[in-house]
Amino acid sequence: MAKSKKKKQQFKDFQKVKLKVGKKLAKADNVTDTFFKTRSIQIREKVSRTTNLQPTTKRKLNISDLFSRCSHYNASMRQDALTGLHELLSAHHALIHTHLSPLLSCLSHMFIDKDASVRASVHRLLRLVFPLVSLTQIRPFFPLVTAHLCCAMTHICDDIQVDSLAVLDLCLQFYPALVTSATDQLLLNFIEQISRQGQSSQAGQTRALLVNPNSRLSSHKWRSKVLDRLHRFLRAMVDNQMVETDGRMHHSSVIDCNMTCHFQPFGSLAVSANVGTAFKLR
């Protein structure tokens, strides 16, 4: 009997305490609080890991960050990147020479940008870069500039064609010798801008003047702009073909005998040639 009574007392010591309805069990003194709060953080700009030795803009962006933003899908982001490049290169001219290849590649791709403000910023940035880059430095990269310029001159969008003439003006102003070296590409683009190919006949293929009523420029104004650039282009060709022989300057021209050329050297019979003209056959 004594053993059974002792067991009953042990069970009573470890029985669960019955609480009243609605009353919660008090927490122990050594309980661990696992409750925590979360909140989202929005990072609007890329966290830069660069050192203070790299030049940056007011928004703490270096030139590599600006190059990557130039290919952004948002037009305002591309516009801000070009503005940052202009700010950075204006203060640090040495960056133009050290990053000339990616800089020209980036700007050339944006000749055909759909946004007009972006193309205007490209033209503004080229006005800063071209005077600081010599002919020898830009020569290896100029074929890339010429290729994108040809794409802009023959683009389906009229506004891009108009803005391409402004880029051509800068190239003729600072690098006329390099522009005239791409004569076979650029001369055809001038013709395509103001005319279209007609139906072929017995006399050969004919061309008709291009009329676009949807253009923001009238046909006469557009032809005048194109012909004015063509005149500058031909003048640059003549100026860069001056050679000196026997103590006097004359023009040395190379004519391709495989193509038919029609030209009128003088407007009237009263005009005579004052300079010697030498032609070299290929």
How many residues are present in the chain? 282
Angle subtended at Cα 149 by Cα 145 and Cα 200, rounded to the nearest 5 degrees: 135
Are 107 and 81 within 8 A, CB to CB?
no
Q: What are phi and psi of 278, to 5 degrees?
A: -115, 130
Q: Look-up: residue for tokens 């069990």?
A: 25
Whole-number pLDDT of residue 186:
81
Whole-number pLDDT of residue 129:
93
Mean pLDDT split into 10-residue runs, the chain, 282 residues: 60 67 80 87 68 79 90 92 93 91 93 92 94 92 91 88 89 89 80 67 56 58 79 80 50 48 43 45 48
Cα Rg, the chain, nearest whole Å: 37
Are 169 and 229 within 8 A, CB to CB?
yes
Whole-number pLDDT of residue 228:
81
What predicted TM-score, i.e. pTM, was given to this entire model? 0.62
Whole-number pLDDT of residue 266:
41
Beta strands 242-245; 248-255: pairing state: antiparallel
Q: Which helix (H) or strand (E) segment is 206 a member of?
A: strand 204-209
Are 166 and 122 within 8 A, CB to CB?
no
